[in-house]
Amino acid sequence: MRISKPPEERKKEIVKAAMELFMTKGYKNTTISDITKKLKISHGLLYYHFKSKEQVLAEGIILNNKRLIEELNFPDLFGGDLSANKKINILMETVFRYISNDLDLIKNSKKFNGSIFIDKVQFKTLDIIIKKLTEFIIQGNEEGNYNCKYPKECAEIIIYGLQRKFYNALEEDPNIENLTLVEYYMHNRQMFLDIFVNMIGARDTKDLFEFNEENIMKNDL
């Protein structure tokens, strides 16, 4: 006998199972049958909550973004007497950990590449990231390590630029099809660091973009 669950609980259960399969089998290779078998539910029940596999993915990305926002707003994440460099490093490492899964899934779903829907989903999250980065650039100015006249504008260019750089690379560089976002970043770390340092006028670059690859690769689904 199937256990009846509240709609929201059932939806989250479906999304969690689907995202786990997307990450292990790949989005393209995961079928609706794979998801229903994993949960031991009927196709009808899944389609009652979601119209398609693409909609399940979209809901997963929404939930992932909500978790990222919650973590970025957690007071202890940037607590203590940390320098601006260290705070930016924590910020970017945390962001990469969450969005790498999103972008790696999106790049394998052609229907979502350049999607206005996904852009809207990510807009709120990017806004939070930009506000945090702006705050830390201002701190770096006050510490005397940065010389950035327009902190907010630089933060916007950096964050939106990183996002678009990856999307553009998908179109222009055939080799990136075999790379995750994290691997792509690691291959181009020095370029990103040089751009960042030049934009904010950083004198000391210690702790900037010194990510722990294992931490980024953690999957909290």
Domain boundary pick from 16, 34, 49: 49
What pTM does this model have?
Answer: 0.74
Token representation of residue 99: 């969005």
Q: Are 54 and 112 in contact (CB under 8 A)?
A: yes
Q: Are residues 25 and 134 in the same domain?
A: no
Q: Are residues 100 and 169 in the same domain?
A: yes
Domain boundary pick from 49, 65, 83: 49
Which pLDDT score, from 0 to 100, does residue 7 have?
80
In eight-state DSSP terms, residue 114 is: T
CA distance 89 to 1: 50
Tell whether 93 is covered by a domain.
yes
Q: Looking at the 3D structure of the chain, how many domains does it have?
A: 2
Which pLDDT score, from 0 to 100, does residue 221 have?
46
Q: Are 217 and 182 in contact (CB under 8 A)?
A: yes
Segments forming the whole domain that contains residue 133: 54-217
pLDDT digits (tens), the chain, 221 positions: 456 678 888 999 999 999 888 878 878 889 999 999 999 999 999 999 999 888 898 888 888 878 888 888 887 888 878 999 999 999 988 887 776 666 666 655 555 544 555 566 677 788 889 999 999 999 999 999 999 999 999 999 998 887 777 767 666 666 666 666 677 777 788 888 899 999 999 999 998 888 766 665 555 44
Q: Are residues 43 and 60 in the same domain?
A: no
The single-letter code of the amino acid at 156 is: E
Which pLDDT score, from 0 to 100, does residue 32 have?
95
Which pLDDT score, from 0 to 100, does residue 198 have?
93
Q: Are residues 182 and 211 in the same domain?
A: yes
How does pLDDT run across 98-113, given as a tens digit for each residue? Answer: 766 666 666 555 555 4
- Among 85, 3, 13, 98, which residue's Cα sits nearest to residue 50? 13
Could you tell me the CATH number of the domain that includes residue 180? Answer: 1.10.357
The single-letter code of the amino acid at 218 is: K
Tell whether 1 is covered by a domain.
no
Q: Are residues 104 and 128 in the same domain?
A: yes
Which pLDDT score, from 0 to 100, does residue 131 have?
94
Q: Are residues 112 and 17 in the same domain?
A: no
Q: Are residues 120 and 155 in the same domain?
A: yes
Q: Are 186 and 152 in contact (CB under 8 A)?
A: no
Q: Are 78 and 87 in contact (CB under 8 A)?
A: yes
